[in-house]
Amino acid sequence: MTTNNSTGKDTLYYDGSCPLCTAEVCKLAKYTGDQLNLQDIHALETQEQSEALPDKQVLLDRLHLKTANGDWLVGVEANVRAWQHTPFAGFWRILNWPVIRVFSKAAYEIWLKLRK
What confidence tens digit (pLDDT) does each residue in 34-79 have? 889 999 999 987 655 555 789 999 999 999 999 999 999 999 999 9
Amino acid at 64: H
pLDDT at 7: 61
pTM for this prediction = 0.83
Calpha distance 69→64 (Å, rounded): 14
The CATH number of whichever domain residue 74 belongs to comes to 3.40.30
Within a domain: 5: no
| CA dihedral for 61, 2, 102, 26, sign (positive or negative) | negative
Total domain count for the chain?
Answer: 1
Within a domain: 4: no
pLDDT at 112: 86
Within a domain: 3: no
pLDDT at 116: 66
Its domain, for residue 97, covers: 10-115
β-pairing, 10-14 vs 36-40, is parallel
